[in-house]
Amino acid sequence: MVTAEDIGRRVEDGAGRVGILRDVIPDYEDPAGLPGERRKRPTAFLWPEGGGREWLVPPESVKRA
């Protein structure tokens, strides 16, 4: 599992995708969800090394690459 100390480092998620850890938020609530259905959960934000679309995963599924 990664922590805020790993921000900026190269990491790999549980699906084998490699990227740069941008942030780890322990109580992230997705603003795209309906207000009554939102729930807070730990979230890691990863960014592809060569640029592209950021993706979100549970921090426990991420390790240093």
pLDDT in tens, 3-53: 999 999 999 999 999 999 999 999 999 999 999 999 999 999 999 998 999
Q: Where do we find the tokens 């938020």? A: 25
Look at residue 36 in the predicted model and tell me its pLDDT. 93
| 17's tokens | 């995708």
Q: Cβ distance 62 to 9 under 8 Å? A: no
Look at residue 64 in the predicted model and tell me its pLDDT. 96
Task: Mention every residue, 6+ apart, whose C-beta is less than 8 A from residue 42.
Answer: 24, 25, 26, 27, 28, 58, 59, 60
Look at residue 47 in the predicted model and tell me its pLDDT. 97
Q: Band of the pLDDT at 2, cuts 50, 70, 90?
A: very high
Indicate the domain borders of the chain.
4-64
C-alpha dist (Å) from residue 39 to 42, 44, 58, 59? 10, 15, 14, 16
